[in-house]
Amino acid sequence: MVRVPGLMRPSGAVRARETDESHRVSTPLELFFDLCFVVAVGQAGRELAHAVGAGEVGHGLASYAAVFFAVWWPWMNYSWFATAFDPDDIPFRLATFVQIAGSLVIAAAVPRAFEHGDFHLMVVGYVVVRLAFCSQWLRVHRDNPELRGTAARWGSGVLVIQALWVALQFVHAPVDFDLGFGLLAAAEIAVPYWAGRARPIPFHPHHIAERYGLFTLIVLGETVSAATVAVQEATVAQDDLKELLALAFGGLLIVFAAWWLYFAHEMGDLLARQHSPFVWGYGHYFVFASAAAIGAGMEVGAAWTTGNDHISARLAAAAVTVPTAVFYLAVWLFQARYFKRGYAQALMPANAAVVLLCTLAGGYAVILAGLCCAAGVAAGVYAATRPVESRGQTVE
């Protein structure tokens, strides 16, 4: 008989996986899931660029924060569920495909959310994703007596909140809608912690670190893609390419430095030592959102060089420097600082401050910020290769 992967077990028990399982890596289904979800990330970045280019900074940032939550939160929940269970049978795959379909509805709804403040279609996609996720907890409840309290809390919590998301669509006052959105987002974030109080779900630290790392990598790739398209379009309308080339080179340095800094340390070992990884996992909202916003900022900068966006040079520069600084601070706060000693501990926050100061350079802010990022990486490498003095003794 020819063995077809995934079809030899049409349906089976959903058992918790071993936390020290060897050779645990991301599956092709998980990677496919990531690539589909990043479509919505790209849409959010493009709409943010349009809003900033039109001078609607406050509206753009608020919409971006809400849209990115609708993408990040289902992705994170799926990743933690898969690292704990992932039976890779037909019901699990079908539930994953439903979640992917919901993510594409979210992506299609992004322009309406930004331009008209209409989140109805986005909520439809979001609820589809979350209900498919909720169905998996029914299987966990059935097959894991020791985790039934956790499964009941997580599944019922998600189910109730989805009903409230639907009810929120009948609220028409903008202030009441915004308040309701904030409360429901907070409730969503609280569910995993509440469920874990019954019994924490097991997780594979190296697998979850790889999942987050791969999504960071994909988001940075989307940033490069968005910036490349923006620069390419700008070259058609621009005869003097001096500022455009400086923007492109500076943006490339920033993305390269972002990659270097994020992957400078093995996070699986750190997660294995931490009793609760909630802060690290939740903190990646800022890592992912700022990484994608760098690409949006590059789009704003490219449009500014052609004169299509009638905004100030400093605002165009800030569209790149601010998310770059946020990325630096987020990576330092949630992971890099655990590996730093001595003066190296202050390198990344100081570099973030310098990048923000580059905003004052206007049209050449991005190239200066890129050079500062590259210098920061070089300083970090130098610090990492030098011995640390501790109480008069040299510690390697």
**Four-CA torsion 106, 108, 111, 113, nearest 10 degrees:** -30
* Residue located via tokens 């097991």: 202
pLDDT for residue 226: 87
Q: Give the Cα separation of 129 and 109 in Å (integer).
A: 14
Complete domains list, the chain, with CATH:
28-198 (no CATH), 205-386 (1.20.1410)
Average pLDDT over residues 197-203: 89
Enumerate the β-bridge partners of residue 393: 390
Distances, alpha carbon 66 to alpha carbons 106, 188, 327, in Å: 12, 13, 18
Query: 0.75 cut: is pTM over it?
Result: yes
Q: Which token pair is 109?
A: 């709804």
* Residue located via tokens 């709804």: 109
pLDDT for residue 102: 96
pLDDT for residue 275: 58
**pLDDT range class, residue 240, cuts 50, 70, 90:** low
Q: What are phi and psi of 18, to 5 degrees?
A: -70, 135
Count Cβ atoms below 10 Å from residue 389 Cβ, excluding itself.
11
Distances, alpha carbon 50 to alpha carbons 56, 65, 115, in Å: 9, 15, 10
Enumerate the β-bridge partners of residue 389: 394
Q: Give the Cα separation of 373 and 331 in Å (integer).
A: 14
Count Cβ atoms below 10 Å from residue 331 Cβ, excluding itself.
26
pLDDT for residue 6: 46
**93-97, 230-234, 306-310: range with highest mean pLDDT:** 93-97
Report whether pLDDT(308) > 90.
no
Half-sphere exposure (Cβ direction) of 158: Cα atoms closer than 13 Å: 25
Count Cβ atoms below 10 Å from residue 16 Cβ, excluding itself.
15
**pLDDT range class, residue 394, cuts 50, 70, 90:** very low
Per DSSP (E only), the strands in the chain are 388-390, 393-395
Q: Give the Cα separation of 85 and 17 in Å (integer).
A: 5
- Give the residue ranges of DSSP H helices in 169-241: 174-198, 205-237
Report whether pLDDT(1) > 60.
no
Helices 313-334 and 365-384: crossing angle, nearest 10°? 20
Report whether pLDDT(2) > 60.
no
Average pLDDT over residues 39-62: 94
Q: Give the Cα separation of 47 and 25 in Å (integer).
A: 34
Enumerate the β-bridge partners of residue 388: 395
Output the average pLDDT for the chain.
88
pLDDT for residue 388: 52
Q: Which residues contact 266 (CB under 8 A, 6 or more apart)?
A: 209
